[in-house]
A = this chain, B = another copy of it.
Amino acid sequence: MEFTLLLDPQSSVPCYQQIYAALRQKILTGQLAPRQRLPSTRALAQSLGVARSTVTQSYDQLLSEGYLQTVVGSGTYVGDQLPETLLHAHSTKPVHAESPPPLVLSAYGQRLAELVAGPSPEPSTPISFRYGRPALDQMPLGIWRQLLSRHCRRADWLDYATDPMGYGPLREAIATYLAQARAVQCHPDQILITNGTQQAISLATQLLVSPGDTVALEEPSYLSARRIFASQGANLHPIAVDGEGLDVDTLARLTDSIRLVYVTPSHQFPTGAVLSLPRRLALLAWAQRQGALLLEDDYDSEYRYGGRPIPALQGLGSGQSVLYLGTFSKVLFPALRIGYMVLPLELVKLFSRAKWLADRQVPTLEQAVLADFIAEGHLERHIRRMRSLYDQRRQTMVTALQTHFGPRATILGDKAGLHMMVRFQTTLPDAELIARAEQVGIGLISAAPQYLGKSPGHEFIFSFTELNEGAIANGIARLATLVSSSLQP
């Protein structure tokens, strides 16, 4: 029997492993047949120029895994339990590779394959008005690092959590914060810590919406939420939004049975409208009558420029109809992946089970750090500091838009949050405007994808959190020059 084992003495893989891998490959591809006799360890060691113990180690491994067997007094053989017909199906180029059986997906998997695109890459531009991030360079990472270090000096947080709802001190800190800052009525027991708002919406949809059920949502509305509803097979019912937010009358006149309403009352996404008090009360009363649930996404309510933040919808009702969602992605940083839900009491147990099955719990260390960050006042200070910074940037943006566009730019929803929406009077289609802006180094985000139906067009989402005032003024001025020729008179 001829052995052509190629060993690479330069490799970091030890010799015995190289021999092991080569023999195993020969057995699997059928180059070594079942019951075929192998050379003695001494002979193979000689032919390869290695120590006999090296070959013995390789053989032992193959023996322990069933590739080889020994016959006492006779030698070492390829295992005879290997079904011969199978071995050839596992050559390095699999026999069936050209015609794999068709892949069968679940109903959910099929919807996902058809419906949902992944994140689309954003062009990198010197000045970007892209939406979604706070001023990441302002994050007090020194404090964060100290808190991480403090917890890493102990080892009491390494085990599985005893409660899938989340780390106790964090839930207490959030409950206190929400009561004070958002007038949310809640006990820490009602708070579920999630991997961001995205997981909160996903869990709520899984638990409350069967395929074919109807979900109502603002039009326009947050695209990522819509994608979750659609992927779960929900029928989507868009409800128009005006200056007072969701048109509750239209919702109340619907004859369909609505399971869930997704709503952003504090700062409608993306138009920035604030849901008026009469509509809030009407929405709550309607939900209670219908047995519908309201998913209140309070994504950037920490920031309101002038006056206190508006109290949450959740705090106005009995607490039974509203699932309140919040996130630290917009006040701290998105890579943290910590958000929370305030649940009606009767849903707590069910969501706890669902979270446990989904991924057990949110990682503990950063929950503990965040709990300290809130309890020690760092969050409040950071929000206060950012509110002032964002307010300056916001005013700069408004002034620049007014100066350069005048009446041909309508600014919406700039009194709160991290963005404003701007309607341009222009004949340019959105895609054309975006392409031209990109050519001169400006990143623009159209509001059109946030519409389920046809977008009126010419609406753009402008973030004012990440750029300094100079860049904002410069970017708006360049944009004005760029599109002025195409603006309607």
Instruction: Give chain A's interface residues, CB within 8 Å of chain B.
Output: 13, 17, 20-21, 24, 28, 60-61, 64-67, 79, 81-83, 86-87, 89-90, 94, 96-97, 100-109, 112-113, 116-119, 121, 132-133, 136-137, 139, 141-142, 144-145, 148-149, 152-153, 155, 157-162, 164, 180, 183, 194-196, 198-199, 202, 205-210, 213, 224, 227-228, 231, 259, 276-278, 281-282, 284-285, 288-291, 306-308, 310-311, 316-318, 320, 333-338, 346-347, 349-350, 352-354, 356-366
Q: Which of B86, B155, B335 contacts A281 (CB 8 A)?
A: B86
Q: Are B282 and A83 in contact (CB under 8 A)?
A: yes
Cα A320 to Cα B301 in complex, Å, equals: 47
Closest to A117 in B: B353
A281 touches B87 (CB 8 A): yes
Question: How many copies of this chain sit in the oligomeric assembly?
Answer: 2
| B231 close to A308 (CB less than 8 A) | no
Q: How far is the CA of A16 from the CA of B352 in the complex (A)?
A: 38
Smallest beta-carbon distance A217→chain B, Å? 16
Q: Which residues of B contact A28 (CB under 8 A)?
A: 316
Which of B117, B162, B205, B310 touches A65 (beta carbons < 8 Å)? Answer: B310
Partner pick for A358 among B141, B199, B277, B284, CB 8 A cutoff: B199
* A210 to B: closest C-beta gap in Å: 4
* Leading 5 A-B pairs by shortest Cβ distance: A101-B291, A94-B318, A195-B359, A335-B364, A145-B152
Name the one of B79, B139, B360 contacting A198, with C-beta atoms under 8 angstroms. B360
- B residues less than 8 Å from A153 (CB atoms): 141, 145
Given A90-B281, A90-B284, A359–B101 Cβ distance below 8 Å?
A: no
A134 CB to nearest chain B CB (Å): 9
Across-interface contacts of A227 in B (CB, < 8 A): 357
| A335/B161 in contact, CB under 8 A | yes
Chain B minimum-CB-distance residue to A208? B106
Question: What CA separation (Å) do A281 and B89 show in the bound complex?
Answer: 9
Chain B positions within 8 Å of A198 at CB level: 357-360
Chain B residue at smallest Cβ distance from A259: B104
Most B CB within 10 A of own CB, among A121, A152, A153, A316: A152
Known: A195-B360, A196-B360. A354 touches B155 (CB 8 A): no
List 13 additional contacts besides A195-B358, A358-B358; criterion CB under 8 Å: A17-B308, A61-B308, A64-B307, A83-B278, A118-B164, A119-B162, A157-B335, A159-B333, A231-B357, A335-B364, A336-B363, A337-B362, A365-B366
Give A454 to B183 CA distance when docked, in angstroms: 52
- Chain B nearest CB, measured from A468 CB (Å): 16
Chain B hits for A117, CB < 8 A: 353
Please, could you name 25 A-B residue pairs with CB atoms under 8 Å apart, sorted by A?
A: A17-B308, A64-B306, A64-B307, A79-B277, A86-B285, A90-B316, A90-B317, A90-B318, A94-B288, A97-B318, A101-B288, A101-B289, A102-B291, A104-B291, A106-B205, A106-B206, A117-B353, A119-B164, A132-B160, A145-B148, A157-B335, A160-B335, A336-B363, A363-B366, A365-B366
